[in-house]
Chain A
Amino acid sequence: MPDLLLEIGCEEIPARLIDAASRELREKLTALLQRERLEPAGAISHFDTPRRLAVLAVGVPSSQPDLTERVNGPSAQIAYKDGQPTPAAHAFAKKVGVDVGNLEKVNTPKGDYLAATVTRKGRTVAEILAELLPKEISSLYWPKNMYWRKRGELFVRPVRWLVAMLDDQVVPLELFGIPAGSKSRGHRIMSGGKAVVISQPSAYVEALRDAKVLGAAEREQVIRKALDAATRTIPGARWREDKPLVATVVNLTEFPSAILGSFDPEFLELPEEVLVTVMRDHQKYFAIEDVHGKLLPHFLAVLNTAADSDGLIRHGNERVLRARFNDARFFWQTDQKQTLRQRVELLRNVTFQKDLGSYYDKTMRVQRLASWLAEIVKQSGMAVRPGVVHKAALLAKTDLTTELVKEFTELQGIVGGLYARVQQLDEDLKSDVQLEVSRAIYDHYKPESMEDGAPATVEGALLSIADKADSIAGMFALGLIPSGSKDPFALRRQANGMVKTIAEHKLPFRLSEIMADARARYQGSEAEKKFSNAAYSKAVRSFFRERLEFYLKDAPQHRYAYDVVNAVLAVDSDDVVDAAARAEAVSKVRGSADFESISSAFKRMKNILRQASEKNNLVAMRVDPAGLREESEKALAALIPETVATVEKRRVARDYEGALLEIAKLRPAIDQFFDRVMVMVDDDHLRANRLALLQTVVKEFSTIADFSEIVTEGKDSTK
Chain B
Amino acid sequence: MVTAGSSAHPIEFEQVTKTFGKRTVLSDLSFSVPEGTVVGMLGPNGSGKSTAMRVLLGLYSATSGRARVLGQAKGDRGFAEAVRRVGTIIEAPPLYKRLSPIDNLRIRVAATGFSAGDAEVRGLLNRVGLAGRLDDPVGDFSLGMRQRVGIALALVGDPKIVVLDEPTNGLDPAGSFEIRKLIQELPGRGITTLVCTHRLAEIESTCDYAVLMQRGRLVAEGTLDEIRARSTVGGHRIQVAPEALERAVATLTALGLGQVSVDDGDVVLARTLDDPSVLTRALAQQGIYLRGLQTQHANLEEAFLEITGTDQDGTQP
A binds B: no
Listed in ascending order, the chain B residues whose CB lies under 8 Å from chain A are none
Listed in ascending order, the chain A residues whose CB lies under 8 Å from chain B are none
